């Protein structure tokens, strides 16, 4: 782990966080993990990816659910007849183990999924939160979803609320608060490429590395 580093990116919906992460990953020649973590967690646990997709960045309220699903053998081989005994907490734990394992093996970028909190003990990490002006977020969502501005704003509000609930539930910090991260940046100021430049410059100082 001594030579490896991680960049953890939290983001508002429509801020371009995933696109910016991809730009940084391409420039550094490292991998970015977002929804890929769902398949990796499914492979490692022997569970179906559907379990993780349903719990994806959603907080758990089912505190009475069991951790039985953390054992591989009972659920290896298909979702159809599996009892609903898995809490989102159990799935979060499995995904957390995958994140820690990846951070131990390689330098990489994680988008969302409380990676900054999960890796809070990692000695070489950079925690970033990306926001953007509402008009730019709405425009990006409209372009991608082919929806109206009203629909985009509703998606934006629901998405942010879901991410905040998830993060605040599993961590001891506040999603989007400046004190939670090493760097908070508004992508509307610099654009995607410029934001990637800024994050890389910050990371090079934080990690004492040349990129």
Task: Report in angstroms the alpha-carbon separations of 122 from 12, 118, 129, 168, 170.
Answer: 24, 9, 18, 20, 18
pLDDT tens per residue, the chain (211 residues)?
Answer: 458 999 999 999 999 999 999 999 999 999 999 877 777 776 776 667 666 666 555 544 443 333 334 333 344 444 544 444 456 787 788 889 999 999 999 999 999 999 999 999 999 999 999 999 999 999 999 999 999 999 999 999 999 999 999 999 999 899 999 999 999 999 999 999 999 999 999 999 999 998 8
pLDDT tens digit sequence for 68-96: 343 333 444 445 444 444 567 877 888 89
Note the pTM of the prediction, 2 decimals. 0.83
Which residues have C-beta within 8 Å of that of residue 150, sequence separation ≥ 6?
none
* pLDDT given for residue 90 in this prediction: 77
Cβ atoms within 10 Å of 61's Cβ, excluding its own: 12
């Amino acid at each position: 782990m001594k030579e490896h580093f991680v960049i953890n990116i939290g983001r508002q919906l429509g801020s371009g966080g995933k696109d910016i992460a991809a730009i940084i990953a391409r420039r550094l020649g490292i991998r970015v993990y977002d929804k890929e973590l769902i398949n990796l967690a499914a492979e490692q646990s022997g569970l179906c990816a559907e379990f993780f997709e349903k719990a994806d960045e959603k907080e758990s309220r089912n505190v009475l659910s069991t951790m039985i699903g953390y054992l591989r053998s009972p659920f290896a081989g298909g979702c159809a007849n599996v009892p609903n005994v898995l809490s989102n907490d159990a799935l979060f734990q499995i995904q957390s183990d995958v994140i820690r394992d990846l951070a131990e093996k390689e330098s990489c970028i994680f988008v969302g999924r409380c990676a900054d909190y999960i890796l809070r003990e990692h000695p070489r990490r950079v925690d970033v939160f990306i926001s953007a002006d509402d008009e730019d977020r709405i425009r990006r969502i409209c372009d991608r979803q082919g929806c109206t501005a009203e629909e985009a704003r509703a998606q934006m509000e629901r998405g942010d609320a879901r991410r905040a609930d998830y993060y605040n539930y599993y961590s001891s910090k506040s999603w989007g608060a400046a004190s939670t991260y090493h760097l908070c940046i508004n992508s509307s100021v610099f654009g995607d490429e410029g934001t990637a430049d800024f994050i890389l410059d910050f990371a090079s100082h934080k990690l004492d590395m040349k990129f």
